[in-house]
Chains A and B, each alone.
Chain A
Amino acid sequence: MGSGNGQMLNLTLKVWRQKNGKAKGSFETHQVSGISTDMSFLEMFDVLNEKLIHEGKEPIAFDHDCREGICGMCSMYINGRPHGPKGGITTCQLHMRSFKNGDTIIVEPWRSAAFPVIKDLVVDRSAFDRIIASGGYVSVNTGNAKDANNILIPKTAADAAFDAAACIGCGACVAACKNASAMLFVSAKVSQLALLPQGQVERKERVLKMVSQMDEEGFGNCTNTGACEAECPKGISLENIARMNREFLGAELTTAKK
């Protein structure tokens, strides 16, 4: 188990349990003991679930996939913050050394009307997929790979597009926002294409459709608190939101109504 300091933690977990989307959920308290500080937060949940299964109880449902901090599946709201107390990481990269022996940890699902709870800590984030499907793509015949530098792109634009493209769509921005707004996610997805030559053809149509879909999904309105940027595991900047606002206004002013 790695080269930790060998300390074992005894913790109290208050976990949200909810049978399904319609059921009324509530918190359930569990004691976990002998948790290594080298464990990840999800591994600690694995230990707890093993115990629950042995006791003949229903294990706690939670989302996870790569456990390498790159897929964006894990989604726990831990002690009042998405992905827990550390900045710049997803829940799977949070390790138990961030907690002290005897701590009580409150774990909740993302809370948003647009992210309904499926079970326990698992929420349905397909609203994000529908936003992408509404315009977050470029319609080009890709064919064979082009020669490098065939299309010239300024380094600053390439860097900004790459930074925006780092978004993994985990939904922490929505979870952190007091208004459950999806502006950081949508703005990252608008920006990564608006900044590149390949994205120009559908540039105006894209921002109009994606913002319209975002509103339709029932996300809240941005109030620029900056909580999304602070909690984003990939450090997506608020500059993207300002860019999307500009793109949206520009598209509205120059697009004739169909």
Chain B
Amino acid sequence: MSKGFLKSSIGKKMVMGLTGLFLISFLAVHCFVNALIFFDQTGELFNQGAHFMGTNWIIRAMEVVLFAGLLTHIFQSLILTLENKKARPVGYAKIDGAANSRWYSRSMGLLGTLLLLFLIMHIYHFWTPSRLGGIANIKPLEEITYSGNVVYHNLYAEMINVFHNPVAVVLYVLGCISLAYHLLHGFQSAFQTIGLNHKKYTPAIKTLGAVFAILVPLIFASMPVYLYIAYK
């Protein structure tokens, strides 16, 4: 492979698609672990799940890869967007976009920006206190001890705490809606970009993508709503 590959338009798009698919795999894991809150009202099951994610060294190593993947996805999109703007220096007076494409497929940059804003808030809410709280003393979490004398971060209590604020609940739900539309285009688009388009499989990929894009954000959005109502 030549160095030019990553500079070619198709190479750059493949970087977007592959990092996107990697981030999708992260979402699936994140959604699964967080959904543990629905299966144990005391929060112990979720706290143990979060503890595993925070202490297992393979997961911790993947966390670095995850941040690298996220940053690559963001910076590559900025480069592509700037190039795309340059490709049409004089715009049209009238565009009938709805006639030939879906609004969310044309608004991936906007949806991505909303997601980034959401992520900054979300990381501040949970990742910073959990991972950096002890080190930098930023918003340290309360601790809880279960059987076996292992000390756990009480992230469940922190979720209840954060989602006591209705503004946070609304912002999280809006973040999940942005995620849903971003995925609705992104999931199937990633497969097209890496060259996987076949009459036999593409309908299944599109269906799976739509189910994922609706189901995962729906489960995520139900968490703040549930905790807000349950601990009002």
Contact indicator per residue, chain B 90-108, by CB within 8 Å of chain A (1) or not (0): 1111111101111001101
Contact present for B94 and A180 (CB under 8 Å): no
Chain B residue at minimal CB-CB distance from A217: B87
Indicate if A20 sits at the interface (CB-CB under 8 A).
Answer: no
Contact present for B9 and A215 (CB under 8 Å): yes
Contacts of A241 in B (CB 8 A): 192, 197
Q: How far is the CA of A241 from the CA of B8 in the complex (A)?
A: 15
Indicate if A178 sits at the interface (CB-CB under 8 A).
Answer: yes
Contact indicator per residue, chain B 1-24, by CB within 8 Å of chain A (1) or not (0): 110110011111110000000000
Contact present for A222 and B9 (CB under 8 Å): yes
**Among the listed B4, B87, B105, which residue makes an inter-chain contact with A219, where contact means beta carbons less than 8 Å apart?**
B87
Chain B residue at minimal CB-CB distance from A244: B10
Chain B's interface size range is 35 or more
Contact present for A238 and B88 (CB under 8 Å): no
Contact A242/B196 with A79-B94, A180-B84 known, Cβ cut-off 8 Å:
yes
Interface stretch, picked from A145-153, A193-201, A248-256, is: A248-256
Indicate if B86 sits at the interface (CB-CB under 8 A).
Answer: yes
Interface stretch, picked from A50-58, A94-102, A225-233, is: A225-233
Contact present for B83 and A221 (CB under 8 Å): yes
Contact present for B10 and A245 (CB under 8 Å): yes
Chain B residue at minimal CB-CB distance from A245: B195
Chain A residue at minimal CB-CB distance from B80: A221
Indicate if B185 sits at the interface (CB-CB under 8 A).
Answer: yes
Q: How far is the CA of A222 from the CA of B114 in the complex (A)?
A: 22
Indicate if B194 sits at the interface (CB-CB under 8 A).
Answer: yes
Contact present for A111 and B88 (CB under 8 Å): yes
Within residues 52 to 109 of chain B, which ones have a CB less than 8 A from any CB in chain A?
80, 83-84, 86-97, 99-102, 105-106, 108
Contacts of B102 in A (CB 8 A): 225-226
Contacts of A220 in B (CB 8 A): 9, 83-84, 86-88
Contacts of A81 in B (CB 8 A): 96, 99-100
Contacts of B96 in A (CB 8 A): 79-81
Indicate if B178 sits at the interface (CB-CB under 8 A).
Answer: no
Contact present for B10 and A253 (CB under 8 Å): no
Chain A residue at minimal CB-CB distance from B104: A225
Contacts of A214 in B (CB 8 A): 9
Contacts of B8 in A (CB 8 A): 211-212, 215, 248
Indicate if A36 sits at the interface (CB-CB under 8 A).
Answer: no
Contact present for A231 and B100 (CB under 8 Å): yes
Contact present for B100 and A227 (CB under 8 Å): yes
Contact present for B87 and A218 (CB under 8 Å): yes
Within residues 173 to 215 of chain B, which ones have a CB less than 8 A from any CB in chain A?
185, 189, 192-199
Contact present for B108 and A111 (CB under 8 Å): no
Within residues 38 to 69 of chain A, which ones have a CB less than 8 A from any CB in chain B?
none
Indicate if A188 sits at the interface (CB-CB under 8 A).
Answer: no
Contact present for B92 and A77 (CB under 8 Å): yes
- Residue positions of B touching A, CB distance < 8 A: 1-2, 4-5, 8-14, 80, 83-84, 86-97, 99-102, 105-106, 108, 185, 189, 192-199
Sample of 19 A–B contacts (CB below 8 Å): A81-B100, A112-B87, A178-B84, A180-B84, A212-B4, A219-B9, A221-B12, A221-B83, A221-B84, A222-B9, A223-B84, A223-B106, A223-B108, A224-B185, A225-B102, A225-B105, A239-B198, A242-B195, A248-B8
